[in-house]
Amino acid sequence: MSGELEERKARRMKYRNASEILPDDLLKELQKYAPGEILYVPSDKGRKKWGAETGARQFYEQRNEEIRHKFFRQKVPMDSLCEEYSLSDETVRKILYR
């Protein structure tokens, strides 16, 4: 799967010679900070938050709220929550006390 991810990244990122696309004054300014280096220039499009496209963020927020509800309102013991959600006690603690 990581090979597929690398392939997608490679298709998106294009190498272009800065001297061919940047004005001379901007190129000289960049050379002061990173002479001879390869730079990544991020897109100006707004970056989406983690899990926004896949729904993972919403899934984990809902799961964590469920865990907090069971622990604080229903008084389910922490070890039972660990087992039910297949999480370590440290992870459950982080969810509960954040």
At 32-90, the pLDDT tens digits run 999 999 888 877 777 778 888 888 999 999 999 999 999 999 999 999 999 999 999 99
Confidence class of residue 2 from pLDDT cuts 50, 70 and 90? low
What pTM value is reported for the model? 0.54
Helices 89-96/78-85 angle, 10° precision: 110
Task: Write the DSSP assignment of 26-95 as a string of letters.
Answer: HHHHHHHHSTT-------SSPPPPTTTTTSHHHHHHHHHHHHHHHHHTS---HHHHHHHHT--HHHHHHH
Taking Cα atoms as reference points, which of 29, 6, 2, 5 lies closest to residue 18?
29
